[in-house]
Amino acid sequence: MRVSTEALREGRSVRLVRDQIEAELVRHLERVDSTLLAIILRQAGLANDIAAGLASHIAALQAGRSSDGKALAARASRIEQKADRIAIEARKEVTRLNARPVIEQMMDRVEQAIDELEQAAFIASLLPEAVAPALLEALAGLCGSSVSALQATASGVAAAAEVPDGQRVDSEDALACVLRLIDAEHSADLREREITAQVLTGGFDVATSLAVLELARAIERATDRLAGFGHLLRRYIISDLLA
């Protein structure tokens, strides 16, 4: 309305007005996307906090050090609740700003990953005192894959936030992060299967077997959600490059 009113007063051409309005819309969309991508980046940071806590817990068990599983689970629960509050506010912003559906879908995938990691932290808090070294080593590798996936997620979002500025290198960086994310998810799949094979053939007691299997599956599901996020991020980036 402002551009149209000023154009009428100044006698500018319709074509020039149309170009100015289109430029204004592009700038608005870029601001909207930057705001919402910053929220996703914050979500990824919260998810990484839980994943890093899990990795530290397993590393402590490997080294024979004491680790407070209950504190780990409680902190993960607080982070998950905080992430839920952020997600609720973010969805309001998506609606208010009339953002593209793919952005809300990306938010949902990261939120789902946080839920799975919080569940993993709860299960980790229930691990028996003595878990076979081979199982702990495999769990440590799986935790490492989840941390790698989240690092790629955060880097991809940060790079994607710069893509609308026309910086081709940022689009290439973002797409490279997507590939890293998918590779991390594939690694998590393999490690989860390795753990399953060890449990089913190792003759471990029931409590250890159930706890380790459920922990591995929860972490692997988190990386699956992040892989889904990666595919959505790629779609988002490609749509911007083709626009």
Contact 157, 102 (CB under 8 A): no
In order of 48, 67, 123, 189, the CA distances from 75 in angstroms are 13, 13, 13, 26
Task: Say if residues 113 and 43 touch (Cβ distance below 8 Å).
Answer: no
pLDDT at 16: 47
- Of 13-17, 89-93, 140-144, 159-163, the least confident: 13-17
The pLDDT tens digits of the residues spanning 24-81 come to: 444 444 455 778 898 999 999 999 999 999 999 999 999 988 889 999 999 999 999 9
What mean pLDDT do residues 163-175 have? 66
Q: Do 225 and 109 touch, CB atoms closer than 8 A?
A: yes
Residue with tokens 């996307």: 33
Rg (CA), the chain: 22
Which of residues 101 and 27 earns the better pLDDT score? 101
Q: Which stretch of DSSP H or E encloses residue 96?
A: helix 69-97
pLDDT at 164 over 60: no
Is residue 9 pLDDT above 60, yes or no?
Answer: no
Q: Cα–Cα distance between 147 and 1 in angstroms, integer?
A: 48
| Domains parsed from the chain with CATH numbers | 2-242 (1.20.58.220)
Q: What is the mean pLDDT of the chain?
A: 85
Cα distance between residue 142 and residue 195, in whole Å: 9
Among all chains, which residue has been given the structure tokens 């992060």? 177
73 contacts 141 by C-beta, under 8 angstroms: no
User: Worst-scoring range by mean pLDDT, 8-12, 16-20, 154-158?
Assistant: 16-20
pLDDT at 68 (0 to 100): 92
Matching residue, tokens 């680790």: 67
Q: Helix 14-62 and helix 206-242: axis angle, to 10°?
A: 160
